Amino acid sequence: MPENYTPLEALKTYFGHEKFRPMQAEIIDQVLERKDALVVMPTGGGKSVCYQIPALVSEGLTVVVSPLISLMQDQVEGLRQNGVPAAFLNSSLNESQQRKVSQQITSGKLKLLYVSPERLLNPAMMAFLKRIPIKFFAVDEAHCISMWGHDFRPVYKDLKSLKSEFNNIPVIALTATADKVTRKDIVKQLGLDSPEVFIDSFDRPNLHLKVLPAQQRFKVIKKFIDLRPNQPGIVYCLSRKSTEKVAERLANSGIKAAPYHAGMSSEARARTQQAFSNDDISVVCATIAFGMGIDKSNIRWIIHYNLPKNMEGYYQEIGRAGRDGMAAEALLFYSYSDVAILRNFIEENELQEIRLAKLERMQQYAEAQTCRRKVLLSYFNEIYPENCGNCDVCNNPPSYIDGTVVAQKALSAVARLKESTGAGMVVDVLRGSSKSEIFQNGYNKLKTYGVGKDIDYFGWHHYLMQLVQQGFLEIAYDDHQKMKLTPLSKKVLYEKMPVKLTRPEKFAAGEAPVKKKTKKERLRDDLFERLRILRKQLADKQGIPAYQVFSDQTLQQMSEYRPDTVTELMAIDGVGQAKLDRYGETFLKSIENFKIQERDRGSTHLVTWQMLQQGKSPQEIAKERKLNSVTIYSHIAALYEKGKPISIEKYISKEDLDKTIKAIKTVGEMNGMKPIFEHLGGKIPFEKIRLALAMYHKKQ
């Protein structure tokens, strides 16, 4: 019986984790001592374990209140996968299904029951539960009870009656909402009895933070996704229309993407969400309507196509990435036109000032020249002592240059444009663009036309933003974001006041050059890919999301450590008893096959090597071994890369070699040999490209 486990044993047996995270153990003790508690932990912090473990190590039923059907289903499925007797009751079940759950409850078989607040508060349900030995109540997403929170649900208010109707039964409230007012309100509204309040750090160290100016967003996004094949992510957009537009453009360029917004039918929304959960599509372009119901643990990145309206929302949204604890990325595009749009949205009422202030804090984050994590956490009243090392500013600390001439050029362009245009036109004039608008307005005759050709588009936008931040320019948000001069600009223009600016980021398109993988990393990633496909097949068979089978983290560890035995597999984080029984053998088999193939691949090269040493030509070897000659050349290339004394020049002319290496340098090798082949007009066959690549790698 589960009652016999200690909390730690239950953690390993059911969830496959070795140890509790610092706060989890404390919270569990509190619950087991039958005390009320409020738990504030960021998304992905591991809140569920805090009530699931106490539920598993003690007698009786634990009732979990959860606001969304999809969340409940996901949680219950996850628990069942781990061999935990759990069920949910909500409006999605028919009568006979409901009866079955009730029977499980009365028979005492069920450990965890998830219910919607509506269902729980239904008088018949209350009466029924009063006859059941209930261990405690867990109120998930507890901020829904507070009008101060960002997701108020009136029905949550009535949960107040839990404490009075079920006296002596502890209540534990859980939320990821940070602000103090909401926390206090939760305690008050639920009538918690001198609860212990646990507040975990809001830091999500695995999230990489980055901000880019909103230039050529689509191009940047496309490249970003191309460099991260098969990694699920969300693009958050401000408008419904742009979710559709971006999704369509991505789909047209071969990326499996779909839109999601509140204007779609509920079926269409459910379809998108399901496809995303099941890894059938990898990108969702969504408004903020796409959110709370997603429990997907392997979201690897979040892009904000537009500036969010406040930090709370932003933090919630990026928090959806990397819940499995593995590296994940948050990229935000920042532009003044978004600021203007958001300012327009803010209505004139008593909340106007607060909302404007919140938007300004969001801007400060986007414009930060110091560690972004510090800025982010300070908003939530947390002090982060060191630089984080995992944000764009830390990775690429601003280096200041003498920007006086740059500033003079920019300010003079604004002056000559009579402060009547936005930043885009200022840059176009500086760069000497030949857009028709320029000629229509005679801007080509301005003295500043084309004086800034030496700086690219990104660079100029970066400098203009800096000038605004430092007060040398202003944006007229109430007048089409026109760029306006300030008293300080005059000092630069007429009094030669020096200006310091930071250098624009070198890799404006959002990417540092990709590091070449070591062989070990390549093999690990190949195995991960194979296990990912296996996971998907197993999940599809059961109609569940892939991450329910094993998390990315678990697959990653399997690819890294390549367990051979059940004991070794059991040592991997996330492999508990139920999953070991259910999937263990299949995964062990797949890992074993991978190893065998890798060994064979090694030996097939060696056979070619022996035959080469016997003086045979690649054609002869291909014929004798009944293999394609391209394969033999790829063996030769690999042998050469490994340091075997082979003279590549024997198989490719100097001229072809030079041409091909030049092509490799131009198109890169990220996307395999095909783009190189095409760049060369199809004139150099693949086998020669492969040889040239070997030469190229060796030289590097």
The contact set with ligand ADP (CB under 6 A) reads 15, 17, 20-21, 24, 41, 43-49, 297, 323-325, 551, 573
364-393 binders of Zn ion (CB under 5 A): 371, 373, 388, 391
- 586, 519, 514, 594: which is closest to 559 by C-alpha? 594
Nearest distance in Å: CB 58, ligand ADP: 19
Nearest distance in Å: CB 140, ligand ADP: 8
Nearest distance in Å: CB 158, ligand ADP: 24
Q: Which is closer to ligand ADP, CB of 16 or CB of 452?
A: 16
> What does the alpha-carbon distance between residue 256 and residue 248 come to, in Å, rounded to a whole number?
10
Binding mask 319-358 for Zn ion (x = CB under 5 A): ----------------------------------------
Q: How far is CA 55 from the centre of its chain?
A: 31
Q: Which is closer to Zn ion, CB of 377 or CB of 427?
A: 377
- Choose among Zn ion, ligand ADP, none what residue 391 binds, the Cβ cut-off being 5 to 8 Å by kind: Zn ion
CB atoms within 10 A of CB 5: 16
Q: Which is closer to Zn ion, CB of 111 or CB of 208?
A: 208
- Choose among Zn ion, ligand ADP, none what residue 407 binds, the Cβ cut-off being 5 to 8 Å by kind: none
Q: Which is closer to Zn ion, CB of 373 or CB of 524?
A: 373
Residue with tokens 């200022």: 426
In terms of C-beta density within 10 A (0-12 exposed, 13-18 middle, 19 or more buried), how is residue 443 classed?
buried
- Choose among Zn ion, ligand ADP, none what residue 213 binds, the Cβ cut-off being 5 to 8 Å by kind: none
Nearest distance in Å: CB 195, ligand ADP: 18
3-state DSSP of 461-494: HHHHHHHHHCCCEEEECCCCCEEEECHHHHHHHH
Q: Which is closer to ligand ADP, CB of 49 or CB of 65?
A: 49
Q: How far is CA 108 from the centre of its chain?
A: 40
Residue with tokens 């030995």: 133
- Choose among Zn ion, ligand ADP, none what residue 45 binds, the Cβ cut-off being 5 to 8 Å by kind: ligand ADP
Nearest distance in Å: CB 325, ligand ADP: 6
- Choose among ligand ADP, Zn ion, none what residue 551 binds, the Cβ cut-off being 5 to 8 Å by kind: ligand ADP
Write down the H helix ranges in 142-293. Answer: 154-157, 161-165, 180-190, 217-226, 240-252, 266-277
- Choose among ligand ADP, Zn ion, none what residue 48 binds, the Cβ cut-off being 5 to 8 Å by kind: ligand ADP
Is the Cβ–Cβ distance between 105 and 81 less than 8 Å? no
Nearest distance in Å: CB 544, ligand ADP: 15
Nearest distance in Å: CB 506, Zn ion: 18
Cα dihedral value 64, 66, 72, 74, nearest 10: -100
Q: Which is closer to ligand ADP, CB of 116 or CB of 481?
A: 116
- Choose among Zn ion, ligand ADP, none what residue 373 binds, the Cβ cut-off being 5 to 8 Å by kind: Zn ion
389-418 binders of Zn ion (CB under 5 A): 391, 394
Nearest distance in Å: CB 580, Zn ion: 39
Residue with tokens 């070699």: 657
Nearest distance in Å: CB 192, Zn ion: 36
Grouping H, G, I as helix, E, B as strand and the rest as coil, residue 221 is helix
Q: Which is closer to ligand ADP, CB of 320 or CB of 462?
A: 320
Grouping H, G, I as helix, E, B as strand and the rest as coil, residue 517 is coil
Q: Which is closer to Zn ion, CB of 38 or CB of 371?
A: 371
> What does the alpha-carbon distance between residue 520 and residue 523 come to, in Å, rounded to a whole number?
5
- Choose among ligand ADP, Zn ion, none what residue 331 binds, the Cβ cut-off being 5 to 8 Å by kind: none
Is the Cβ–Cβ distance between 140 and 67 less than 8 Å? yes
CB atoms within 10 A of CB 38: 23
Grouping H, G, I as helix, E, B as strand and the rest as coil, residue 320 is coil
- Choose among Zn ion, ligand ADP, none what residue 90 binds, the Cβ cut-off being 5 to 8 Å by kind: none
Residue with tokens 């101060």: 148
- Choose among ligand ADP, Zn ion, none what residue 17 binds, the Cβ cut-off being 5 to 8 Å by kind: ligand ADP
Q: Which is closer to ligand ADP, CB of 179 or CB of 338?
A: 179
Strand partners, 302: 234, 330
178-207 binders of Zn ion (CB under 5 A): none
Is the Cβ–Cβ distance between 633 and 618 less than 8 Å? yes
Nearest distance in Å: CB 262, Zn ion: 34
- Choose among ligand ADP, Zn ion, none what residue 572 binds, the Cβ cut-off being 5 to 8 Å by kind: none
Q: Which is closer to ligand ADP, CB of 206 or CB of 617?
A: 206
Q: How many residues bind Zn ion (CB under 5 A)?
A: 5
Pairing of strands 328-334, 482-485: unpaired
> What does the alpha-carbon distance between residue 19 and residue 350 come to, in Å, rounded to a whole number?
48
Nearest distance in Å: CB 252, Zn ion: 36
Q: Which is closer to ligand ADP, CB of 392 or CB of 552?
A: 552
- Choose among Zn ion, ligand ADP, none what residue 49 binds, the Cβ cut-off being 5 to 8 Å by kind: ligand ADP
From first CA to last CA, the distance across the chain in angstroms is 60
Q: Which is closer to ligand ADP, CB of 24 or CB of 306?
A: 24
Binding mask 138-157 for Zn ion (x = CB under 5 A): --------------------
> What does the alpha-carbon distance between residue 501 and residue 548 come to, in Å, rounded to a whole number?
49
Nearest distance in Å: CB 48, ligand ADP: 3
Token digits of residue 357: 């202030």
Q: Which is closer to ligand ADP, CB of 75 or CB of 408?
A: 75
- Choose among Zn ion, ligand ADP, none what residue 394 binds, the Cβ cut-off being 5 to 8 Å by kind: Zn ion
- Choose among ligand ADP, Zn ion, none what residue 371 binds, the Cβ cut-off being 5 to 8 Å by kind: Zn ion
Q: Which is closer to Zn ion, CB of 391 or CB of 663?
A: 391
- 336, 465, 473: which is closest to 415 by C-alpha? 473
DSSP state of 391: B
Residue 616 φ/ψ, nearest 5 degrees? -85, 150
Nearest distance in Å: CB 26, ligand ADP: 13
Is the Cβ–Cβ distance between 232 and 60 less than 8 Å? no
Grouping H, G, I as helix, E, B as strand and the rest as coil, residue 102 is helix
Nearest distance in Å: CB 271, ligand ADP: 24
Q: How far is CA 397 from the centre of its chain?
A: 23
> What does the alpha-carbon distance between residue 498 and residue 631 come to, in Å, rounded to a whole number?
63
Write down the H helix ranges in 324-422. Answer: 336-345, 352-367, 372-379, 392-395, 404-416
What is the contact surface with Zn ion in residues (CB under 5 A)?
371, 373, 388, 391, 394
